[in-house]
Amino acid sequence: METYEFVAAGAGGRQVRGVQVAENEVALDRALERKGLLLTSATAVGERHSRSRARLTRDEIVTFTTQLATVTGAGIPIIDGLRGIGRRLATPSGQELVERMVTGLEAGNSLSEVMKPFPRVFPPIYSASVRAGEASGALDRILTRLAKYLEWARAMRATAVQALIYPAILACAILGLIAILLLFVLPKIMGLFPAGAELPWQTQIVLGASDFLRGNIVVVGVACAALVCGAISAWRVPAVKRAVHGALLKVPKLGPLVQKLAMSRFASTAATLHSAGCDVFTTLTIASETCGNAALAASFGRAIARIRRGEAISKALEQEPQVDPLLIQMIHVGEKAGALDSVLAKVAEYYDDEIPRTVKKFLSLLEPCILLGAGGVVAFILMAAVLPLFQLYENIG
């Protein structure tokens, strides 16, 4: 599928501009013809170019969704409501996005269709929910639920970032201290000793590391940059990402946190989509893709394949050991009661309550590990610098 910016002639010869997703220009021409428009020109802009100019920040998406829910609930025509929302947006890129959506609506597209060219702004859960809301006639209720979901997702990201800020600062500070000791402090101390002086083995190790670092600083920098680029490239390989995510699930203290975050995302996404009226396969597929862990997404994918063959959701998930048994048990209860969306919402709330406690447990282990590990390295470097001084004083004495 390709994203096209088009110009078409409408009723009475009026010019209509818009954005449309189509297989090719022939398919675009036919789609516009069904809407009573005659294609004049079309340009394939591509997803990257399309989103480079028209976008919303995460905070703006939450506000946009809330305002859109209010507009639809009040019975205001969607085009008029979008124009009003666009005028209140602070960024030109956001205003351009809304303008292009309005143009698409004026061309006869549905709201979900005009969102398709902007997958980075409106992810699959968003477009699927809107499409289900349009079909059910409950768009305002679904948009309200979607806004709450986006607010929850933003809060979860903030919690994760906040939890990692202190350990990251601590690690960077200690690495900086080690670099200063190796590059500047230790060489000055070694200048006090005559050439060829016998030094303790600890000092010889650290001095060798210092000489190598100072003599090959460019090589070390290039190697670090190459390592980072290689890691980024490897991370884009699905098999590598699955392996790393699977390994993270097995790390003590960290594994339960990673699992609960993924289970919470899965349950919240599934509850939002199921309550919007999406079918079970769309719900589970999108929820698995947005859980944030490639290994668990693969587990959910295998379970979905079994569900397509006729197995119950809970029965299919039981065969995946990486999926939390609590989630499986709650889904089983929801299936029996016929209230899957409400049960998923409750289990998501449970995980949301558990995540802060799990974060505290993880940090209670991580921070001492950083201090002990990096502190041990600093202590070894300082010992290597001090031991020759004691040796020098003994010789003087």
Contact in structure between 292 and 265 (CB atoms under 8 Å):
yes
Local structure of 37: helix, strand or coil: coil
The pair of structure tokens assigned to 179 is: 């670099």
From residue 46, alpha-carbon distances to 4, 39, 55, 118, 119 in Å are 7, 19, 14, 10, 12
DSSP 256-302: HHHHHHHHHHHHHHHHHHHHHT--HHHHHHHHHHTSS-HHHHHHHHH
Tell me which of 3.90.550, 1.20.81, 1.20.120, 1.10.155 is the CATH number of domain 2-122.
1.20.81
CA distances from 203 to 13, 178, 381, 396 (A): 85, 15, 8, 20
Our CA angle for 126, 131, 137, nearest 5°, is: 120
Q: What is the 3-state secondary structure (H, E, C) of 46-59?
A: HHHHHHHHCCCCHH
For residue 12, what is the DSSP state?
Answer: G
Domain 165-397, what fold? Receptor-associated Protein (1.20.81)
Cβ neighbours of residue 90 under 8 Å, at least 6 residues apart?
60
What is the pLDDT tens value at each position of the chain, 397 positions in all?
Answer: 567 777 887 766 677 777 776 767 777 888 888 877 878 788 776 544 444 456 788 888 989 999 999 998 888 999 999 999 988 887 888 888 888 888 888 877 889 888 888 888 888 888 888 888 888 788 888 888 888 888 888 887 887 787 778 888 888 888 888 888 888 888 887 777 776 677 888 888 888 888 888 888 889 889 999 999 999 999 889 899 999 999 999 988 889 889 998 998 899 888 888 888 888 898 899 889 888 899 999 999 999 999 999 999 999 999 999 999 999 999 999 999 888 888 998 998 898 888 888 888 888 888 888 888 888 888 888 888 888 777 777 766 5
Location of each CATH 1.20.81.30 domain in the chain: 165-397
